[in-house]
Structure 1
Amino acid sequence: MAMQDTCAELLLDNQLCFALYSTSLLMTKVYKPLLQELGLTYPQYLAMMVLWQGDGITVGEISARLLTDPGSLTPLLKRLEAEGLLKRIRSSADERVVELFLTDKGRALREQARAIPTCIVEASQQSIEQLAALKDELVALRNSLQQAV
């Protein structure tokens, strides 16, 4: 089927959104075998990174940090609890609030995960400086988009 009218602004390869989407898909594929060794999915890994940074946070706080809805995070956190990586405890001050605490197993998993960032840098074939600059640009873009919604 021949293309009748070339509309450059609608070409897939000209779209920033597609470049971000396809890169995200490939990044997740690179992470997958590394995370399988830890028994984690990519979303679980993100949640664990937040917990490794600050144990004892609430579901609302981890949800805000991951830019996700608390309701969609709850099943993921229940799976991590079933795996023995964290404990979910209702706050004594407000029973509507659920606090998250790493178990010894959850803390130990952090040591196993330490090599993952190096593997990702190697797979990217970019320098640390290039990746840091790209991350800064993406964070700035994310912040702008967040203000637009």
Structure 2
Amino acid sequence: MPNKRVSLHGPDHPDFILDDYPLYNLNRTSATYIDQMSSRLKDFNMDQPSWRVLMLLGDKNPSSVGELSRRSVTKISTITRILMRMEKEDLVSRAPFAGDNRVIEVFITDKGKSLLKELRILADDVYSQAFDGISDQDVITFTNILMRLRQNLS
């Protein structure tokens, strides 16, 4: 239920109220979304990090390991382990970039594309649940604010 009070003060202010703090609520919402997705992904023997990689490759295929790391906000060493596991499951393949052998490109396989198609339906259900009762204009405003926050923090 929407809270009419929103803390316009940072944590060091005497009037600070944690439950009304936008960044606290952003973190809680993100965690709730991840929990929802994780529980639904289990039916496909998929975890959140692998889902994120499939979504990124669905958006831009191929992508370099470095680009996947940056866009997924995941350390290179972690993304490499995720990719190794996904490669064993035949969801992705990796190959040196033709112009620079130091760069490894990641490709989504046909099996990965097929799974991604199913998972997008699942994700659409979570999206619909999350934005139920929220106008298109509010979704646009919310997305623009999130992008601005990320830009401000970069």
TM bucket normalised to smaller: 0.7 to 0.9
Q: 1:56 to 1:120 in 2, by over 3 A?
A: same
Q: Does 1:25 align with 2:31?
A: yes
What is the percent sequence identity of the aligned residues? 26
Structure 1 Cα separation of the partners of residues 135 and 32 of structure 2? 19
Deviation at 1:27, TM superposition (A): 0.8
Q: Which SS does the other structure have where 1:88 is aligned?
A: strand
> What does residue 34 of structure 1 align with?
40
Q: How big is the alpha-carbon RMSD for the aligned residues of Structure 1 and Structure 2?
A: 2.1
> Please, what TM-score do these two structures have when normalized by structure 2?
0.79
> What does residue 138 of structure 1 align with?
146
> What does residue 91 of structure 1 align with?
97
Are 2:37 and 2:123, in contact at CA under 8 Å, matched by a contact in 1?
no
Equivalent pairs, count: 140
> Please, what TM-score do these two structures have when normalized by structure 1?
0.81
> What does residue 3 of structure 1 align with?
none
- Mapping 1:69-148, distance limit 5 Å: 69-124=75-130, 125-127=132-134, 129=136, 130-146=138-154
Structure 2 Cα separation of the partners of residues 117 and 14 of structure 1? 28
Structure 2 Cα separation of the partners of residues 17 and 31 of structure 1? 21
Deviates more, 1:34-43 or 1:24-33: 34-43
**AA paired with 1:68?**
T
Deviates more, 1:42-51 or 1:61-70: 61-70
Structure 1 Cα separation of the partners of residues 94 and 135 of structure 2? 36
Structure 2 Cα separation of the partners of residues 133 and 38 of structure 1? 33
Q: Which runs of 5+ in 1 are unaligned?
A: 1-5
